[in-house]
Amino acid sequence: MSTAEDFTQLPLLMWEKVFAKVKKAVVFMDDRCAEALHWSGGAAALLQAGARNVKQFSSFEACGENEPKAVFVVSTLLKGRTVDIIKDIISLSHFQYCVVFTAVPHSVHLFANNVSTEMEGFPVFEQFEEKLCEWMGNMNYTAEVMHSPVVFAHVSQQLIVASPFAHLFPLLPADLESINAKRPEKKRFGTLNDLDGHSLPVELQVEIKSLVSALNSMFEAAGMREESFAVGPMSRIIAGELANHNQAKNRRKTAANKASIIFIDRTMDLTGAVGHHGDNLAEKILTVLDPLPGHVTDVQVDMLELTSVQRTPHSQNTVAPGCLAQNHKMSKEKLLENLEKYVEHCKLLEIQGVCASLKSLKFIRKMEGGLKHFITCLQFALGDGDFPAVLRQLLPLMKPRGGEDSSSSGSRLGQDECGPDELILLLIYLYTLAEEVQHFADGGEEELEKLERELIGALTLVVTRETELSPLLQSLTGCAAAEELTTERAHSAVGKMFETLRGLSHMRDHLKQLRSVYTASDGVHQASYRPFLRQVLEEVFHPDRPECPDIEHMSGGLTDLLKTGFSMFMKVSRPRPRDNPLLFLFLVGGVTPSELRLVKDTVAALKPATQVLVLSTRLLRPTDIPELLFSTQRLRPDVGF
């Protein structure tokens, strides 16, 4: 396989190993694997392969005496909570045959168990097979444990998402402080770019190693020999791990098909992720509709709008929601393209459901109108004034909803006012550009600190006056209901949020060339946003551009060092991303629908013959960014310990 189209078939291929084992079995699957399967045929694919039933991976599930076979599919290590749930299900059932699939390879299980040397066979899996027989109550029963990288979802023609890694996000300066706090003073790291894989917490190392192993499995199935490149600290670590992965080294010696892969940190450009840039149907749908329960990517379409069922508080679950994932190849390929093609290929009822849902939500008008307009105004202001002056423009917006000057009596659907979630998005947008526009006069830094204290106080008041906490505010404050939230707790949460915001403006400080995503006004042209992804692609594909120092080659090892040494005496060219006919862009931390269109258009303009496939940890909504910045355990992800 050497084409991008062939490569997109691999996520389904990874499930074949599971399908071969589910005949006459009850399948228990965790949410992360279920989401990956959702885009590769869903539960129907399991039933078609012979499964008797599909159940949630939960201690509250079990099977009857007439169901002797079970298949478990999990995305985590076979440790801790995962083991407890499997044991609970088996103990409450009457199984005689159990098969366990884990998306985490045996080598990572060894690492998680502090085994540093390679071992023959699969001792961790073999020991777990014995435990399964013990829990089933008879050592002569059959138990199998194996690895299958069922983590990828083919979302569109040009996008593959690794949904189990949706919360893997590049580290921030606040995370560097946490790492340094546990190290001797002389061994502390100066910048995020100084970090290496061994310095990270075990949980994060497990997450990265699992992702790299899954990527290697995909490349192995495709017969790929890749050259890895990286932009950003987290991308350097992941690309370095892939370059040094033992199985990947062996694969690259014999693989016939050449490709390049560039890992890019999402934190290199958060401006584009929160700015509602472009006019993209998929972005609107993903932002407005609620996600499917247990899912990160797909949304639920309210099909009740298309029926004669009267809407009541109890009618919500009367009609099953629709979704955007399509079993038909042509429908799925057109998801992220323009509206005409989308209507042409998707199921009519679900299109009508989407349209009805969009029409019924006044929030879409505020998001696309007021918020987008205000962001445009901020771009003008950034070009004309210093950062504190621009930041001060947010103060009039920071008023509790439903106040004397408010038009919506506290409703979340008001058209003329911003709630706390929207205010946080605006703050992120401004702070990501702060370093590019800060021009302090005398006492400017003191003025900024004073202004930030005012903003913290104003936003705290807005949050405490909310009658209902949004999911973001719940995770930010740790309170499930507005009644639990105190002023002190809200003030502390907002203060920590601003500590994180201050670090956002320095995420590109280590770069030599691609340091800016903002073009200031020159009196003729207005200030504008320059997408980081477009700049990277221009550096890669423009024939007259020299090698960009910010796109770091990671696959070379000793060979690359020798070439660098020889280049002092003779002309030696190092590998470049454009050398190969297939290019993978892996965005660590998520990609937006608008960026997918940008990639397609930019490559078509610069080098049409090159095939580009985007891989990412998730498909982003603007509202995802605050959660990833302020509410995600970046250093210690949930890997099932």
CA distance 632 to 583: 30
Which pLDDT belongs to residue 208?
Answer: 98
Residues contacting 386, CB < 8 A, separation 6+? 437, 438, 439, 440, 441, 444
- Specify the DSSP class assigned to residue 619: B
Which pLDDT belongs to residue 278?
Answer: 53
- Residue 490 in tokens: 């809200």
Which pLDDT belongs to residue 340?
Answer: 40
Which pLDDT belongs to residue 64?
Answer: 94
Low-confidence ranges of the chain (pLDDT < 70): 1-2, 276-279, 316, 326-385, 402-417, 437-443, 556-572
Q: Number of C-alpha atoms within 13 angstroms, CB side, residue 125?
A: 21
**Are 24 and 53 a contacting pair, CB within 8 Å?**
no
- Residue 3 in tokens: 């084409």
CA angle 154, 244, 553 (to 5 degrees): 80
The tens digit of pLDDT for each residue in 61-103 reads: 999 999 999 999 999 999 999 999 999 999 999 999 999 999 9
Q: Look up tokens 């992804």; give the residue.
A: 533
Amino acid at 121: G
β-pair type (528-529, 518-519) = antiparallel
Which pLDDT belongs to residue 284?
Answer: 80
The tens digit of pLDDT for each residue in 301-310 reads: 888 777 777 7
Q: Look up tokens 């690359």; give the residue.
A: 560
CA distance 248 to 613: 20
Amino acid at 401: R
**Are 187 and 81 a contacting pair, CB within 8 Å?**
no
**Are 185 and 247 a contacting pair, CB within 8 Å?**
no
What domains can be seen in the chain, in order of their start residue?
A: 4-150 (3.40.50.2060), 276-360 (no CATH), 387-437+439-504 (no CATH)
From residue 340, give the alpha-carbon distance in Å to each of 256, 281, 300, 624: 39, 10, 21, 27
Which pLDDT belongs to residue 214?
Answer: 97
Instruction: Please classify residue 540 by burial: count the beta carbons closer than 10 Å to its beta carbon, then call 0-12 exposed, 13-18 middle and 19+ buried.
Output: buried
Going by C-alpha positions, the residue among 49, 54, 1 that lies closest to residue 22 is 49
pTM: 0.89
CA distance 57 to 53: 12
Which pLDDT belongs to residue 335?
Answer: 46
Which pLDDT belongs to residue 363?
Answer: 44
CA angle 368, 161, 623 (to 5 degrees): 30
CA distance 443 to 440: 7
